[in-house]
């Protein structure tokens, strides 16, 4: 997928007011999980209403940070029997280890941490 070039603001309708910016920082309040701040983002910002549209790479970075925040918070509540080795996902979905980890980072598979290791949740295995 390719990034779109924006010139007119889709939010307020201002013509020619969208400018490409780099090094932006954004803070999100994730319901029931807390706050996450992501920096070094790139995208377009309207000089009139300050609405932002992030580039695909930055959108993926935001999504990954939110998913990771949820996984870290959920890790305190998840029981061991709800965790599944990555190998089980590899067999069921016929994907490589790298692709399973990529899917976790993209938020396509929920996971929890055990130490520094990511483990997919059993509920995700049943869902697929």
Q: Is 25 left (phi over 0), alpha (psi -120 to 50) or beta?
A: beta
**Predicted structure pTM score:** 0.82
**Whose CA is closest to 55, among 16, 6, 108, 13?**
6
Q: Per residue in 36-45, pLDDT tens? A: 999 999 999 9
Q: Which pair of structure tokens corresponds to residue 90?
A: 């590899």
Q: For 85-125, what is each residue's pLDDT tens digit?
A: 999 999 999 999 999 999 998 888 999 999 899 999 999 88
- Give the other-Cβ count within 10 Å of 13's Cβ: 11
Q: Does domain 1-61 have CATH number 3.40.50?
A: no
Domain ranges of the chain: 1-61, 75-128
The CA distance from 14 to 78, in Å, is 47
């Amino acid at each position: 997928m390719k990034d779109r070039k924006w010139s007119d603001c889709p939010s307020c309708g201002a013509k020619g007011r969208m400018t490409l910016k780099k090094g932006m920082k954004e803070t999100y309040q994730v319901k029931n999980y807390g706050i996450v701040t992501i920096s070094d983002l790139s995208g377009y910002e309207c000089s009139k209403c300050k609405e932002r549209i992030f580039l695909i790479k930055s959108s993926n970075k935001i999504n990954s940070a939110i998913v990771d925040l949820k996984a870290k918070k959920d890790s305190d509540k998840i029981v061991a029997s709800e965790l599944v080795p990555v190998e089980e996902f590899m067999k069921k979905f016929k994907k490589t280890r790298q692709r399973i980890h990529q899917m976790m980072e993209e938020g396509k598979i929920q996971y929890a941490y055990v130490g520094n290791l990511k483990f997919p949740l059993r509920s995700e295995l049943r869902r697929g």
